[in-house]
Amino acid sequence: MKPRFKKILSMLLGIGVGVSVAASAWSEPTLQQVMKARGLTQKDLLAAAETYTPTGKRDEYIAFASGGQQGGVMVYGIPSMRILKYIAVFAPEPWQGYGYDDESKAVLAEGKVHGKLITYGDTHHPALSETNGDYDGQYLFINDKSNARLAVIDLKDFETKQIVHNPFFQSDHGGTFVTPNTEYVMEGTQYPAPYGGKYVPLSKFNEKYRGGLTYWKFDRKKGRLDKSQSFVFELPPYSQDLSDAGKLASYGWGFTNSFCSERYVGGDMQGRPPFEAGCSSKDTDYMHVTNWKKAAELVKEGKVQKRRGMYFIPIKQAVKEGLLYLIPEPKSPHGVDVTPDGKYIIVAGKLDSHVSVFSWPKIQKAIKTHDFEGRDPYGIPIIPMKDVLHTQIEVGLGPLHTQFDSKKCIAYTSLYVDSQVVKYDYCKGKVLDKIDIHYNIGHLMTMEGDTEHPDGKYLVALNKLAIDRFNPVGPLHPQNHQLIDISGQKMRLLYDMPVPLGEPHYAQAIKATKLKPLIRYPFGWNARANHKSRWRTRPGRERIVRHGTRVDVYGTVIRSHITPEIIRVNEGDTVSLHFTNLERAEDETHGFAINGQNVQLSIEPGSTVSATFVADRPGVYPYYCTEFCSALHLEMEGYLIVKPKNYKAQTVSLKHGVVYTKADYDKQVATNMKTQAVIDKVVRYITSRNYKDYPQVVSLMEDATDQLNFAKGARKKAEAAAAKGDWQNAMLWANQWWQYQVKTADIGLRAKTYLDQHGAHKIK
Ligand code: RUQ
Ligand code: CUA
């Protein structure tokens, strides 16, 4: 056997070559020895056992956390806290090719703000889609506070499919929150501004600056937000903050709080006291209560006018129709959270040491009986706080956000100033437990914590500061997500996870079993737009098509070559590359990067990905696959040749560095025959088992068959060249035939391993 062949085959079979493990007197350390050496306590060990997830085992929950200024979403498992993915949303991300292929550039371009391409986002609140008040695992939404945008992520492939920009707002913070059947996605403003971003002097703040709340209609069938069916509540220029949608008892309603209802405008350089002084002078701000269900009916009845392509509900109309009310809430509140049964709304005020528990039945009664203490300067009725409060609980300093347990009446609130989480009974108004956090916690989340049926079990503290928790890496510290066990009476800290991304805001966690993502795309799929790509190319149909100065390359990628391998264009041509990944196997993504063109593609099995650029500089540009996809991955390469203008072609044929003889050819053919025997053996092994019960293996077999057909094609060419005595080409094609065989064997062995590991049995 050829030594190289032996090496590759043994590699495929997983047998180490030239590596021998020396026997020694070494034995595994005992648990006691490890504990001593690492200074671990019994408690540490318990926490480790509760989070450690051995290889191959999976997590019970999947968390989706905002990436903050990174502009995306982080996905990790709980309880292991292992990071699984960063989903690119508002910012380019090269690994996923996001922002580097034509398809994702189109998604990013949807989020242009007044014609400007924005390539970052300040993501805050991810929201999982819901059906009947529970997460359904289909979609994820997230907001970009800084640019008033929302994005839709499809959980079939964890890809961003849509970005929308709010045509009214200049910032958003009270989003995204979904109604119980994802009828609407809420998006509240933060900083009051003139609608549409026009110029209005600050002296007209009270009259012309506005806040607002948009209910974006979600078209579940299309998986898109539908601007034309969405509506916007005009709101006073209070700084609206967070929102939450009512559920069960409060279904059909939404709650949005606010700070700076003083409508103060700072101006430190103009000699005015700063915002923070003027914005916290009153004792209370306002919670906004909106009736989205009735608003949707008015829209349906044609009673709402359109502005900027959306339905727009002026304050006057909202008041007249009974869609909008205010309730005073303690000073500078932050979080507003509806309890799982929808009966209470818990508001936490940053500058108040209490959480205020509002009663929905009482609010409803006040609305029905017109129990108002007056109107705000914009004519909105104000419901007296004392009439609708259920209770106020002294919890500690800087309460921000609240999450719920599976146990009735149990809630957890983050205490930013105290750096603690407090557990309490909101029905009885009693504090039950506190735990220290490191440090300055913002949001917190429990498992399925925003649904009608929270799972409890774990809580993650999303902390603003890490300070001394990790090895120092310079003045910019990582963030700290802390995992806490909440299954018992006392909370127990289990794990600290450093996150080298943007500031963590909110996160949601769903049962892992509810997620059913794809393994591969349907053939020729445009994954960003979710439909077949017009540029998809079948194997053997690869071609280069020129129309004037535009050159379309219909290419394919498969282990281990890119077709075409040589692309010749002229200086100044617009080159559009389209690659279809022909693989069906799991995790066989090919990358594509080319020198100097800012193109880096991720071509997942089945997908078709395009990249268009102008070849404005003559030269030679190597391209290659950027994923180590096979033993001959490094050979997955090619050249883009950009010919200078007015270049006179000389006919020079390509010369190969080595001259081959008949003996070389015969030797190669002999190797190929032996390889075929190995392949036949593997195929016999697989087909004698119930491999059809394993979709994974069926697709591997399809891939293997493709490769084998390619091998047959190469063999024909080799034999034709040999018949003519052209030993150069005969040898090269014979080698290519062997390359296809090696790939077939590789795929076959993967299938065999899979069957062995999944307990396949023999069939008669
Ligand atoms: S935020 S730390 Cu939700 Cu944007 Cu509160
Ligand atoms: Cu394909 Cu490396």
Q: Which helix (H) or strand (E) holds 32?
A: helix 31-38
Distance CA 613, CA 110 (A): 20
Distance 561 CA to ligand 2 centre (A): 7
In this structure, the answer to whether residues 582 and 501 fall within a common structural domain is no
Question: Is residue 218 left, alpha or beta, with left meaning phi > 0 and alpha meaning psi from -120 to 50?
Answer: beta
What are the distances in angstroms from CA 537 to CA 197, 580, 610?
45, 6, 12
- Asked if residue 317 and residue 412 are part of one domain, the reply reads yes
Q: Which ligand is closest to the CA of 175, given by its number?
A: 1
Task: Tell me which ligand sits closest to the C-alpha of residue 173.
Answer: 1
The whole-number pLDDT of residue 652 equals 65
764 located within any domain: no
Give the pLDDT confidence score for residue 633 in this predicted structure.
87
Cβ(484) – ligand 2 distance below 6 Å: no
pLDDT above 70 coverage of the chain, percent = 96
Using the predicted structure, report yes or no on whether residue 467 has a pLDDT greater than 60. yes
Q: What tens digit of pLDDT does each residue of 84-114 get?
A: 999 999 999 999 999 999 999 999 999 999 9
Checking if the pLDDT of 720 tops 50, the result is: yes
pLDDT at 702: 87
- pLDDT at residue 25, as a whole number: 65
* Secondary structure (DSSP) of 365-384: HHHHTT--SEE-TT--EE--
Share of the chain above pLDDT 90, in %: 83
The ligand that comes nearest to the alpha carbon of residue 629 is 2
Pair (95, 222) in one structural domain? yes
Instruction: Give the model confidence (pLDDT) of 241-281 as tens digits.
Output: 999 999 999 999 999 999 999 999 988 888 888 888 888 88
In a domain, 162, yes or no: yes
**Is residue 561 lining ligand 2, measured as CB closer than 6 Å?**
no
Mean pLDDT (whole number) for 39-43: 96
Instruction: Give the residue numbers spanning the domain of 8.
Output: 3-51
Report whether residue 173 contacts ligand 1, using a CB cutoff of 6 Å. Answer: yes
Ligand 2 atom at shortest distance from the alpha carbon of 557: 1
If you measure from the C-alpha of residue 464 to the centroid of ligand 1, how many angstroms do you get, rounded to a whole number? Answer: 10
* 611 CB near ligand 1 (under 6 Å): no
User: Ligand 1: does its nearest atom lie under 6 Å from the Cβ of 400?
Assistant: yes
Mutate to test the pocket of ligand 1, among 259, 443, 462, 481 (most ligand atoms within 8 A of CB): 443
Of the three residues 616, 643, 670, the one that is the final residue of a domain is: 643
pLDDT at 693 > cutoff 80: yes
Determine the pLDDT at residue 24: 57
- Does 321 have pLDDT greater than 50? yes
611 alpha carbon to ligand 2 midpoint, in Å? 18
Q: Is the CB of 350 under 6 A from ligand 1?
A: no
Closest residue by Cα to atom 2, ligand 1, is 442
149 Cβ below 6 A of ligand 1: no
Same domain, 498 and 586: no
Position 763 confidence tier, pLDDT thresholds 50, 70, 90: confident
Q: What are phi and psi of 171, to 5 degrees?
A: -165, 160
For ligand 1, whether the C-beta of 90 sits within 6 Å is: no
Residues 261 and 122 in one domain: yes
Which of the residue ranges 311-320, 448-457, 732-741 would you say has the lowest mean pLDDT?
Answer: 732-741
Tell me whether residue 651 is in a domain.
no
| Mean pLDDT across 343-365 | 95
DSSP string, 325-366: EEEEEESSEEEEEE-TTSSEEEEEETTSSEEEEEEHHHHHHH
Predicted local distance difference test score (pLDDT) of residue 332 = 87
Tell me the pLDDT of the chain averaged across its residues.
93
Structural domain tally of the chain? 4
Considering the domain architecture, whether residues 472 and 545 belong to the same structural domain is answered as no
Residue 169 CA to residue 197 CA, distance in Å, equals 7
What's the CA-to-centroid distance between 541 and ligand 2, angstroms? 20
The reply to whether 613 and 693 lie within a common domain is no
Residue 633 and residue 745 share a domain: no
Alpha carbons 318 and 570: distance in angstroms, whole number: 62
Q: What is the pTM of this model?
A: 0.90
Are 28 and 120 within one domain? no
CA-nearest of 302, 161, 166, 301 to 240 is: 166
- Contact yes or no for 441/460 (Cβ under 8 A): no
Indicate which atom in ligand 2 lies nearest the CA of residue 591: 1
Looking at residue 309, its amino acid is: G
Residue nearest to atom 4 of ligand 1 (CA): 124
**Average pLDDT for residues 533-555, to the nearest whole number?**
95
pLDDT confidence of residue 584: 86
pLDDT tens sequence across 380-438:
999 999 999 999 999 999 999 999 999 999 999 999 999 999 999 999 999 999 999 99
**Do both 471 and 395 map to the same domain?**
yes
> Is 19 part of any domain?
yes
Of the pLDDT bands very low, low, confident and very high (cuts 50, 70, 90), residue 658 is confident
pLDDT category, 495, cuts 50, 70, 90?
A: very high
Look at residue 654 and tell me if it is in a domain.
Answer: no
Tokens standing for 651?
Answer: 């006919």
Instruction: Kindly state if the Cβ of 633 falls inside 6 Å of ligand 2.
Output: yes
Ligand at shortest distance from the CA of 259: 1
> Which atom, in ligand 2's list, is nearest to the CA of 634?
2
Ligand index nearest the alpha carbon of residue 257: 1
Same domain, 355 and 435: yes
Beta carbons of 443 and 401 less than 8 angstroms apart: yes
Cβ of 629 closer than 6 Å to ligand 2, yes or no, is yes
Mean local confidence (pLDDT), 138-156: 98
Q: Per-residue confidence at 651, pLDDT binned at 50, 70, 90?
A: low
| 266 in any annotated domain | yes
> Among the three residues 643, 675, 699, which one is the final residue of a domain in this structure?
643
Say yes or no: CB of residue 347 within 6 Å of ligand 2: no
**What mean pLDDT comes out for the span 661-678?**
93
Backbone phi and psi for residue 219, each to the nearest 5 degrees, phi listed first: -95, 100
Domain boundary among 482, 514, 546: 514
Instruction: Classify residue 655: in a domain, yes or no.
Output: no
What CATH number should be reported for the domain holding residue 263? Answer: 2.130.10.10
Residue 581 pLDDT more than 70?
A: yes
Q: Rg of the chain's alpha carbons, rounded to an integer?
A: 31
For residues 495 and 49, is the Cβ–Cβ distance under 8 A? no
- Helix or strand or coil: residue 189? coil
Tell me the CATH number at 598. Answer: 2.60.40.420
CA distances from 344 to 165, 359, 402 (A): 32, 5, 12
Same domain for 500 and 415: yes
- The closest residue, in CA terms, to atom 1 on ligand 2 is 590
Element (H, E) at 135: strand 134-144
Pocket of ligand 1 contains residue 442 by CB under 6 Å: yes
- Encode 1-35: b = buried (16+ Cβ within 10 Å), e = exposed: eeeebeebbeebeeeeeeeeeeeeeeeeeeeeeee
Provide the edge-to-edge strand list for the sheet that holds 253-259: 239-245, 253-259, 284-291, 324-330, 381-382, 374-375
Q: Does 522 reside within a domain?
A: no
| pLDDT of 5 higher than 60 | no
pLDDT for res 14: 41
Q: Is 514 exposed, middle or buried (0-12, 13-18, 19+ CB in 10 A)?
A: middle
